[in-house]
C-alpha cells in the first residue's frame, strides 16, 4: 500500500509538470482554448487510471520511472521529429556536445547501414595516435557487439574519465578484425578548422563542423589567421554540418554581413512573438568574394547561415539542396535532471523564406560525385523524409535513375572533392576579372 501511494505521488508530480508545459501557451486565450485545457485535465485522469492498473496488476513489478519516461516519450512522439524527451544521462551528453569538451577517444562516429562507423579521427587525439582511420567499423566495445546499439548508447560506452581504458574491436576493409585498447583523454573538439587552400591565389578555406558555444570565437581566429596570410577569397564549408546553437548561427552570419542587416527572424505559434536577429558593425570582417558549400547534411543552423548569405548576395551557395529543417527547438530542463527539447518556433531567412522541407537551393548545384547527375542513385534523408515533419508545401519526389553506366573517370578522379574544386575555380575566375558586385560588394551594399 505504501509503495502504491508513492507511485501515485510520483505520477501526479510528473503529470503536473507535463501539464504546465502543455497549458502555458493556452493561458489567457479564448473560451474555446479554455475548454481544450479542461479536456486535457479529464484525459489525465484516464492516464492516471491506466498507470495505476499497470502498477497493481501487471505480471511483473515495473519501475515507476521507466513507465513515466515511456509515457512522456510516447507523448512527444506524436509531435514533430525534432521534439524529444531526454533522460538525465542523454541530457548531459547533449550539454557536453554543445560545449565541445569531454573525456573520450577523439573520433567522429556515425551509424552506416546499422554498423558503428568512424567518420574521422580527430588529429592529435588518442584514437588518431592509435592509427584509427575513417571508414573503420567498430564491431564491439569491451567484447560486446555494437550491432543493435543506438548512436547515443555507443557514445556513452566510448566516453569516460580521462585515464581510463576502453577496448574496441575494429573491422577494416577485408582484414581480420583486431582489438585496439585506448586510454581516454580530454577531447577538445574544435568546430572550426581552416587552411590556405590555394596559396598562390590566396583562397582561404574554413570548415564549420557544428555550431557550438565557441564557434564564433573560433571563426574569428581562423579568419584573422587567413587575413595575415593575405587571403583574397574564401570557401566556407558547411557540408554535413547538422546545426547547433541558434546564437552561433547568428554570430557566424554576423561576421560576413554589414551593420543592420537582418540575419534571421523566428516566429512562434501562429506567427506570434517574432524576434529578429541583426548583424553588427563591430563583428564584420573585411569583404572577400565567397563561396559557401552545402549538401543534404547541412541542416538547421547551417541553413540559417547559408540562407542569410544567399539572400544578401554576400556569397554564392554551391553544392546540393540542404536538409530543410526550418524550425527552432528550446530545451526545457525538468526537475529530475531530464529535459524536454521542444519545437517552439519557425525561422525565416532575411527575405521571408521558410526553408522547411524545401531547404536552401544552391545558386549552383553540384553533385558530390561529378559522375552523378542526380541523387537518384543515393539514399538521401532530408526533413520531408521524417515522420510527423511539418508540411510547408508540396515537395515533388526526385526522379529515380536506373543503374549507373560505367564511369569514364579514373579511380583517382573519383576521389576528388568536386564541390570544393568548383568553388576554387569559380573564385579564381572572379578574382581574375575582379568583379565583386556579384558577391554583394560595395555597390550591392547600397541597395
For residues 13 and 111, the model is more confident at 111
Q: Which range of residues forms the domain containing residue 324?
A: 192-396+410-445
- Which of these three, 154, 188, 222, is where a domain ends? 188
Of 176, 236, 241, 172, residue with least CA distance to 204: 236
Alpha carbons 343 and 330: distance in angstroms, whole number: 6
Does residue 117 share a domain with residue 9? no
89 is a domain residue: no
Q: What is the mean pLDDT of the chain?
A: 79
Alpha carbons 161 and 158: distance in angstroms, whole number: 10
Residue 81: is its pLDDT beyond 80? no
Within 10 A of 442 (CB to CB), how many other CB atoms are there?
9
- Which of these three, 78, 110, 127, is where a domain ends? 78
Does residue 438 share a domain with residue 344? yes
416 is a domain residue: yes
For residues 292 and 30, the model is more confident at 292
Work out the average pLDDT over 14-41: 50
Give me the pLDDT at residue 396, please.
39
Does residue 315 share a domain with residue 177? no
84 is a domain residue: no
Does residue 388 share a domain with residue 358? yes
Of 104, 93, 95, residue with least CA distance to 158: 104
Cβ atoms of residues 165 and 184 within 8 Å: yes
Digit-coded pLDDT (tens) for 341-395: 898 888 999 999 988 878 899 999 998 764 444 444 444 555 555 555 555 543 3
Does residue 147 share a domain with residue 246? no
Give me the pLDDT at residue 415, please.
41
Work out the average pLDDT over 192-207: 95
Residue 26: is its pLDDT beyond 70? no
Catalytic: which of 202, 214, 325, 341? Answer: 325
174 is catalytic: no
Catalytic: which of 80, 253, 311, 341? Answer: 311
Catalytic: which of 216, 300, 327, 338? Answer: 300
Does residue 207 share a domain with residue 341? yes
Does residue 110 share a domain with residue 73? no
In whole angstroms, how far apart are CA 43 and each of 48, 74, 265? 9, 15, 36
User: What cell numbers appear for 218 in the block?
Assistant: 573560433
Digit-coded pLDDT (tens) for 132-157: 988 899 999 999 999 888 777 888 89
Residue 100: is its pLDDT beyond 90? no
Residue 397: is its pLDDT beyond 90? no
Of 25, 27, 22, 54, residue with least CA distance to 41: 22
- Which of these three, 78, 111, 126, is where a domain ends? 78
For residues 58 and 377, the model is more confident at 58
336 is catalytic: no
pLDDT band of residue 304 (cuts 50, 70, 90) is very high
Residue 18: is its pLDDT beyond 70? no
**Domains of the chain: total:** 3
pTM for the structure as a whole? 0.66
Does residue 248 share a domain with residue 174? no
User: What cell numbers appear for 128 in the block?
Assistant: 588518431
Digit-coded pLDDT (tens) for 217-253: 999 999 999 999 999 999 999 998 888 889 999 999 9
Give me the pLDDT at residue 403, please.
38
130 is catalytic: no
Amino acid at each position: 500500500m505504501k509503495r502504491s501511494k508513492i507511485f501515485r505521488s510520483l505520477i501526479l508530480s510528473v503529470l503536473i509538470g507535463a501539464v504546465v508545459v502543455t497549458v502555458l501557451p493556452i493561458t489567457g486565450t479564448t473560451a474555446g482554448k479554455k475548454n481544450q485545457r479542461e479536456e486535457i485535465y479529464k484525459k489525465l485522469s484516464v492516464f492516471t487510471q491506466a498507470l495505476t492498473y499497470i502498477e497493481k496488476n501487471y505480471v511483473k513489478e515495473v519501475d515507476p520511472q521507466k513507465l513515466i519516461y515511456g509515457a512522456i516519450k510516447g507523448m512527444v512522439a506524436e509531435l514533430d521529429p525534432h521534439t524529444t524527451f531526454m533522460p538525465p544521462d542523454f541530457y548531459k551528453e547533449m550539454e557536453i556536445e554543445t560545449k565541445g569538451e569531454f573525456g573520450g577517444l577523439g573520433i567522429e562516429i556515425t551509424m552506416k547501414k546499422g554498423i558503428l562507423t568512424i567518420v574521422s579521427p580527430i588529429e592529435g587525439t588518442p584514437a588518431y595516435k592509435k592509427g584509427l582511420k575513417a571508414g573503420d567499423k567498430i564491431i564491439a566495445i569491451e567484447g560486446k557487439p555494437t550491432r543493435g546499439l543506438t548512436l547515443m548508447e555507443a557514445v556513452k560506452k566510448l566516453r569516460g574519465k580521462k585515464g581510463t581504458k576502453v577496448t574496441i574491436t575494429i573491422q577494416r576493409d577485408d582484414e581480420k578484425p583486431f582489438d585496439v585498447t585506448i586510454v581516454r583523454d580530454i577531447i577538445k573538439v574544435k568546430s572550426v578548422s581552416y587552411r590556405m587552400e590555394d596559396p598562390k591565389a590566396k583562397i582561404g578555406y574554413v570548415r564549420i563542423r557544428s555550431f557550438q558555444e565557441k564557434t564564433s570565437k573560433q571563426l574569428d581566429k581562423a579568419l584573422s589567421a587567413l587575413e595575415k596570410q593575405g587571403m583574397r577569397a574564401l570557401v566556407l564549408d558547411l557540408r554535413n554540418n547538422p546545426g547547433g546553437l541558434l546564437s552561433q548561427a547568428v554570430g557566424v552570419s554576423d561576421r560576413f554581413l554589414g551593420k543592420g542587416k537582418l540575419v534571421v527572424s523566428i516566429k512562434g505559434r501562429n506567427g506570434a512573438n517574432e524576434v529578429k536577429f541583426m548583424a553588427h558593425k563591430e563583428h564584420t570582417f573585411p569583404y572577400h568574394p565567397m563561396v559557401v558549400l552545402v549538401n543534404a547534411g547541412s541542416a538547421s543552423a547551417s541553413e540559417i547561415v547559408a540562407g542569410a548569405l544567399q539572400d544578401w548576395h554576400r556569397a554564392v551557395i554551391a553544392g546540393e539542396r540542404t536538409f530543410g529543417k526550418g524550425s527552432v527547438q528550446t530545451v526545457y530542463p525538468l526537475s529530475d535532471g531530464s529535459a524536454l527539447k521542444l519545437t517552439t518556433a519557425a525561422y525565416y531567412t532575411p527575405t521571408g523564406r521558410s526553408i522547411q522541407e524545401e531547404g536552401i537551393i544552391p545558386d549552383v548545384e553540384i553533385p558530390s560525385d561529378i559522375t552523378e547527375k542526380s541523387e537518384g542513385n543515393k539514399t538521401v534523408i532530408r526533413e520531408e523524409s521524417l515522420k510527423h515533419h511539418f508540411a510547408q508545401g508540396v515537395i515533388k519526389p526526385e526522379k529515380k535513375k536506373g543503374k549507373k553506366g560505367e564511369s569514364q573517370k579514373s579511380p583517382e578522379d573519383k576521389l576528388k572533392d568536386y564541390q570544393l574544386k568548383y568553388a576554387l575555380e569559380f573564385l579564381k575566375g572572379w578574382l581574375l576579372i575582379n568583379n565583386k558586385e556579384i558577391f554583394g560588394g560595395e555597390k550591392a551594399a547600397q541597395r
